[in-house]
Structure 1
Amino acid sequence: MGKSVSKKQAVAAALAANDEESARGRLLSAATHLFCKNGINATGIDAIIHEAGTAKTTLYKLFGSKTNLVHAVLESEGKAWREWFIGAMEEGGGDAQSKLTRIFPALKSWFGEERFYGCPFINAVAEHDKDAKQFRAIALKHKKVVLAHIEKLAGEMGAADPESLAHQLALLIDGAIVAAMVSRDPGVADTAALAAGSLFGPSRVKKPKRAAGTAQLVAV
């Protein structure tokens, strides 16, 4: 009898866990859509639970507060975006420069999506107190991962200053995202790609060092 009750309890616990995971997923999905489309401050709890089809008590049980939900959305969106973005650069292989040149075609594809509302990190920082550290910290953490991968590829490409090149490309990326959000024109990615092309010129790449004997031979 005791074992039977224990099994029932285990099944009930498993079902409850599945229900919570399902509710969490629906809340994250609803909040992500509404925060990106309408803004964090303009989106109330009632709108989120209505779209998610959950109770308000469920939201507070799973996340504790709207601020915690915002953090969860940014963490989730950041992870998904980084996986997509880095995957888009790496897909198809090739040398480091080939991978870097895939940045803006990938962004153009993203800009053309119906649910493109800009970068959630830029948007979150933009609509909150600029002295508030919580959203800037999450945004900088996200940017650090993206920059690190671009810098790694810049180094493999032989850039004279991989860190500087990564930051220059990041500025073009951020600028293209904001311009596309405002203009609703995916073509701004092509303009950014043209600007990025000048960063890959011969003067930006380290010249291979020649051995002393080779240099003397050439001189003769």
Structure 2
Amino acid sequence: METPALSARERIMTTAHDLFYRDGIRATGVDKLIAESGVAKLTFYRHFASKDTLVLAFLEYRHARWMAWFVDALGRHGAHAGRGLPALADALAEWFRDPAFRGCAFINSVVEVGASVPGALEIARQHKEEMEQVIAELLPQGDGRAERARAIGVAVDGAVVRAQMGTVDEAITGLAALAAGAAHGGRG
């Protein structure tokens, strides 16, 4: 069965996603995006008035894709609401070991463009908050649940950076130990 061709906007978006994540936002010029997505310059600018507009669309697109993957990966590794975090390290290990892994697109984007792209910081913050909400749902009910989820979110960010530096096993082991303690209200 034939798959329908992607629209010009979808081709630009998927190309931007792949190039921005793999090579970086600043290293990826509009001309390269146009060439690799196979659209005309006029078509590109009809869909995205500027590179900054595309960066924001990329962050929204990446957020939706990554969150869908994260929830699915947690489920595949046995996560259940209120039952703790044993699946967290396994799910993240799957991502860290993917050959396409280049760290967190949101951390990378904040480092690269920060506040120079209006709206980028807010999208990154929202992404982290939604990730923490998913984590909170896995924790047992009780006082301090949101705070524990926030602490685990910070630990996830640290583990991502460690994995990006090439110490994947160390990142996973550390995150698993901290998540086990924090899941039960301990300090890990």
TM-score normalized by the length of structure 2: 0.86
**1:101 partnered with 2:109:** no
What runs of 5+ residues in structure 1 fail to find an aligned partner?
A: 1-17, 205-220
Map of 1:186 onto structure 2: 168
Identity of aligned pairs, percent?
Answer: 33
Report the RMSD for the aligned CA atoms in angstroms. 2.1
1:131, CA displacement in angstroms?
7.1
**1:74 partnered with 2:56:** no
What runs of 5+ residues in structure 2 fail to find an aligned partner?
A: none
For residue 127 of structure 1, give the secondary structure of its aligned residue in structure 2. helix
For the 8 Å contact 1:108–1:190, the answer to whether it is kept is no
Q: Decide which of 147, 159, 164 is 1:164's aligned counterpart.
A: 147
- Matches of 2:117 and 2:10, distance apart in 1: 28
For the 8 Å contact 1:150–1:166, the answer to whether it is kept is yes
1:57, CA displacement in angstroms?
1.2
**1:147 partnered with 2:132:** yes
For the 8 Å contact 2:107–2:124, the answer to whether it is kept is yes
Deviation digits for residues 159-208 of structure 1 (CA, Å, limit 9, x no counterpart): 4310111011101110011111122x43122221122222234x64xxxx
Map of 2:73 onto structure 1: 88
Q: Equivalent residues in 2 for 1:1-220 (5 A)?
A: 22-91=7-76, 92=78, 94=80, 96-98=82-84, 100-130=85-115, 133-154=118-139, 157-183=140-166, 185-187=167-169, 188-201=171-184, 204=186
Q: Which runs of 4+ in 1 moved over 6 A?
A: none
More helix by share: 1
Equivalences, count: 181
